[in-house]
Amino acid sequence: MGGFVLSSAFDSKSGQLILVTLLIMVASFYTGTLFGNKSAIYVQQTPLESSPASFNQCLILAGYSKITNKVALTFRRTPLSIPETGMNVCPLNYNEYIPCHDISYIKGLLPNLDISKKEELERHCPPIDKRLFCLVPPPEDYKLPIRWPTSRDYVWRSNVNHTHLADVKGGQNWVHEKDKLWWFPGGGTHFKHGATEYIQRLGNMMTNQTGDLLSAGVVQVLDVGCGVASFSAYLLPMDIQTMSFAPKDGHENQIQFALERGIGAMISALSTKQLPFPTNSFEMVHCSRCRVDWHANDGILLKEVDRVLRPNGYFVYSAPPAYRKDKDYPMIWDKLMNLTSAMCWKLIARQVQTAIWIKTEDRSCQLQNAEQKLLNICDAVDDSQPSWKIPLRNCIKLSSAKAQSQKLPLRPQRLSVYSESLNNIGINRDKFTLHTIFWQEQVNWYWRLMNIDKMEIRNVMDMNAYYGGFAVALNTLQVWVMNIVPISTNNTLSAIYDRGLIGAFHNWCEPFSTYPRTYDLLHAHHLFSHYKHSGENCLLEDIMLEMDRIIRPQAIPRLRVTNLTATQSSIALPSPKGERFLGFIIIRDEESIISRIKVIAPQFLWDVESHVLENEEHKSEPVIICRKKFWAIV
């Protein structure tokens, strides 16, 4: 029955694919309802056979058994210790715990925060002894996420149990509730009728009605206040890569929706500090009713946009000041015009509800405006410093005297661009090429070792991304990769952006700005060894705990379908064993670190498989593939 109720939620547009997904979803239902009574934690183990009769009962579910870990609100203590029973599990109401965006902690800081600048929306990580040291549990009735591309339009309602957005944004077609699902029709505040038409219009506006975004040179986009990231989702068919961000604010859980849909996004805010993205990274910064006061504080936030935009990049602004004449809107528009012309941006189009500026490379204009005190030019800035916790600067960087050296091609050619910025940190072109080949090989190995259908994986994070070779090797698959460059390594993130990829700076001694259960695959290449001397507050266990928080749990094992009815007999299972595969953590590192993780992993309820691969110097290197088990508090 469940299957048929569900199937009515889908259009029969892309037949087979949807059927396959549907099947998995029905299976997921059962994993979701497996846990009935409230007492202990269970983890599934051995497969159960059952006799199939109706469509429902065709699904054979895994069995489960009790595990010893305890549910207890536990804080990080120094020295660190893990109970003999295994890591404690945080109580159920912590199922959305994001340590550095924890409202109950931030409340206490409010007296010292600049609310007028929305500083409370930035990262505020609790000190180590106020951080939880327990595994974050899934919510009640958690289901394995729906696969991409169906997930673009449908996610499980119970996985993101927040009705607020649908209540306030349903009219703008952001998201609707549909039985047990959330349905994303692809709308947004300024594209109620779908993002495709809106995207076309933007392209037309940028090219005097002659072309689209690609012909305007847009390959990488920063979407400010992205909502449920429909804009990004609909740029994907053009192979335009979007970094979407939004704060954790009144628009409950928009980033969680985005990630559950399989769209790249993270929590961040434009407030008092620079964004964790390098200078000169995007051809377009987009704000559709993004609730940012660009005109305030002498336009300091526009100067941050200027920083991250590439030369001749676009600032696309769809908000009431661009088209309405009531309230304060004309005054705000006036201010925006004053600020942007002082920065030597040029308004190139203003149409329907959207205004578009271009960041020109007009050095003489900048110098002139600086002389007239309309604008501050930044003191020489060292772009190789990661933008991490750096206060915003009320200045812009002077355009270089000579034309920008590197003109970047479109993707996929852009993926092989060797960025001049690598030269400065001692990576020459040969090393870069070898690195690229090396990662192609490694990724082939990974897939063989994981032994899964490539369509299973969608949200991927490379926790120590170097120059992005891992992400480049994954490029032909339907995945997106968040490339993280730790702030204490050489800054290679600019080079990653120059290859047409997205990513962010991060310090792994702190939790990342994402919701729990948002990645299918984490890759940690020499991550632990990099942090091994980081002190008592940044131990291997701390990083493992954060990995456990952000990785999705694996599927229940051995989910099988038998005795399909005539109409379903053509349904192929998504993998040879008929399982849904998620929750992979690939770790390669020094022998001592790997052995230590192998000892601790069971306490985190991870399965571990050991392998050996060759490193770049053709020496053996241990590689482990961990899987986060699917457990729940019942």
Per CB under 6 A, which region of 20-28, 49-57, 283-291, 468-476 contacts ligand NAG?
A: 49-57
Closest CB to ligand NAG among residues 188, 203? 203
335 binds ligand NAG (CB under 6 A): yes
SS3 (DSSP) at 284: strand
Q: Which residues contact 197 (CB under 8 A, 6 or more apart)?
A: 191
CB of 304 to ligand NAG, least distance (A): 20
Whose Cβ is closer to ligand NAG: residue 562's or residue 610's? 562
Nearest approach, Cβ of residue 431 and ligand NAG (Å):
10
For strand 345-351 and strand 265-267, is the pairing parallel, antiparallel, or unpaired? unpaired
Question: What does the alpha-carbon distance between residue 288 and residue 387 come to, in Å, rounded to a whole number?
Answer: 25
Q: Which stretch binds ligand NAG (CB under 6 A): 136-144, 236-244, 392-400, 441-449?
A: 136-144
For residue 215, the minimal CB distance to ligand NAG (Å) is: 11
Amino acid in the structure at residue 188: G
Closest contact distance (angstroms) between CB of 435 and ligand NAG is: 12
> Is the Cβ–Cβ distance between 503 and 463 less than 8 Å?
no
Q: How far is the CB of 524 from ligand NAG (least distance, A)?
A: 16
Measured CA to CA, the distance from residue 134 to residue 432 in angstroms comes to 40
| C-alpha dihedral (484, 489, 492, 497), degrees to nearest 10 | 20
Size of the site for ligand NAG (CB under 6 A): 21
d(CA 361, CA 259): 36
Q: Taking CB under 6 A as the rule, does residue 572 contact ligand NAG?
A: no
Binds ligand NAG by CB under 6 A, chosen from 8, 12, 37, 51 = 51
Contact 147, 458 (CB under 8 A): yes
Calpha distance 490→35 (Å, rounded): 47
Q: Do residues 167 and 177 lie in contact, with contact meaning Cβ atoms separated by under 8 Å?
A: no
490 binds ligand NAG (CB under 6 A): yes
Measuring CA to CA, which residue among 60, 67, 236, 230 is closest to residue 135? 67
Q: Is 46 in the site for ligand NAG (CB under 6 A)?
A: no
Alpha-helical segments (H) within 294-428: 300-308, 329-342, 363-371, 420-423
| 357 DSSP β-pair partners | 315, 347
Q: Which helix (H) or strand (E) holds 505?
A: strand 503-506
Among 141, 212, 298, 362, binds ligand NAG (CB under 6 A): 141
Which residues, 205 to 224, sit near ligand NAG by CB under 6 A?
A: 206, 208
- CA 115 vs. chain centroid, Å, equals 26
Of the candidate residues 140, 361, 383, 590, the single one contacting ligand NAG (CB under 6 A)? 140
Q: Which residue in 139, 203, 225, 299 binds ligand NAG (CB under 6 A)?
A: 139
3-state secondary structure 292-310: CCCCCHHHHHHHHHHHHEE
Q: Which stretch binds ligand NAG (CB under 6 A): 48-56, 174-182, 386-394, 515-523?
A: 48-56
Point out which span in 146-154, 334-342, 386-394, 402-410 binds ligand NAG (CB under 6 A): 334-342
SS3 59: strand
Q: Does 575 bind ligand NAG (CB under 6 A)?
A: no
Helix, strand, coil proportions of the chain in percent (round to 5)? 30, 20, 50
* Cα four-point dihedral sign 376, 377, 382, 388: positive
Only one of the segments 169-177, 243-251, 329-337, 453-461 lies at the binding site for ligand NAG (rule: CB under 6 A); that segment is 329-337
431 part of the interface to ligand NAG, by CB under 6 A: no
Does the footprint of ligand NAG cover residue 334 (CB under 6 A)? Answer: yes
Cβ distance to ligand NAG smaller for residue 52 or 83: 52
Q: Binding to ligand NAG (CB under 6 A): which residues in 528-567?
A: 562-563
Instruction: Say how many CA atoms lie within 13 Å of 431 toward its Cβ.
Output: 10
Nearer to ligand NAG, 248 or 627 (CB): 248
- Is the Cα dihedral 94, 96, 99, 104 positive or negative? negative
**Which stretch in 59-67, 328-336, 359-367, 615-623 sits in contact with ligand NAG by CB under 6 A?**
328-336
Contact 503, 465 (CB under 8 A): yes
Task: Please state the closest distance from residue 564 (CB atom) to ligand NAG, in A.
Answer: 9
Residue 354 makes contact with ligand NAG by CB under 6 A: no
Nearest-approach distance from CB 421 to ligand NAG, in angstroms: 11
Which residue pairs, CB below 8 angstroms and at least 24 apart, start in 568-577? 568/19, 568/23, 568/55, 570/16, 571/16, 571/19, 571/20, 571/23, 572/20, 573/20, 573/23, 574/20, 574/24, 574/147, 574/453, 574/455, 574/456, 575/452, 575/453, 575/456, 576/451
CA–CA separation, 285 and 220 (whole Å)? 9
Q: Strand pairing of 154-156 and 181-183?
A: antiparallel
Our finding on whether 50 is near ligand NAG (CB under 6 A) is: no
Interaction of residue 1 with ligand NAG, rule CB under 6 A: no
Is there binding between residue 7 and ligand NAG (CB under 6 A)? no
Nearer to ligand NAG, 140 or 361 (CB): 140
Task: Output the six-digit token pair for 135.
Answer: 């595994």
Among 50, 338, 406, 416, binds ligand NAG (CB under 6 A): 338
Tokens in use for 397?
Answer: 């960087």
Q: Does 434 bind ligand NAG (CB under 6 A)?
A: no
Which range, of 135-143, 282-290, 503-511, 596-604, touches ligand NAG by CB under 6 A?
135-143
Minimum Å distance from CB 59 to ligand NAG?
A: 13
Buried b (16+ CB within 10 A) or exposed e, 293-328: ebbeeebbbbbbbbbbbbeebbbbbbbbbbbeeeee
User: Of 358, 368, 363, 369, whose CA–CA distance to 398 is shortest?
Assistant: 363
Alpha helices in 531-634 (DSSP H): 540-550, 591-600
Residue from the set 426, 533, 535, 569 that interacts with ligand NAG by CB under 6 A: 426
Kindly state whether residue 311 participates in binding ligand NAG, applying the rule CB under 6 A. no
In the complex, least distance from residue 141 CB atom to ligand NAG, rounded to whole angstroms: 4
Q: Residues in the chain, how many?
A: 634
Q: Hey, which residues between 154 and 183 contact ligand NAG (CB under 6 A)?
A: 158, 161
DSSP bridge pairs for 484: 504
Residue 52 interacts with ligand NAG (CB under 6 A): yes or no = yes
Per-residue string for binding with ligand NAG, 217-256, x by CB under 6 A? ----------------------------------------
Binding part of the chain for ligand NAG, among 137-145, 278-286, 494-502, 590-598 by CB under 6 A, reads 137-145
Sign of the four-CA dihedral 367, 370, 372, 375 = positive
The site string for ligand NAG over 360-399 (x = CB under 6 A, - otherwise) reads ----------------------------------------
Q: Binding to ligand NAG by residue 404, rule CB under 6 A?
A: no
> Which residues make up the interface to ligand NAG (CB under 6 A)?
51-53, 139-141, 158, 161, 206, 208, 331, 334-335, 338, 348-349, 425-426, 490, 562-563
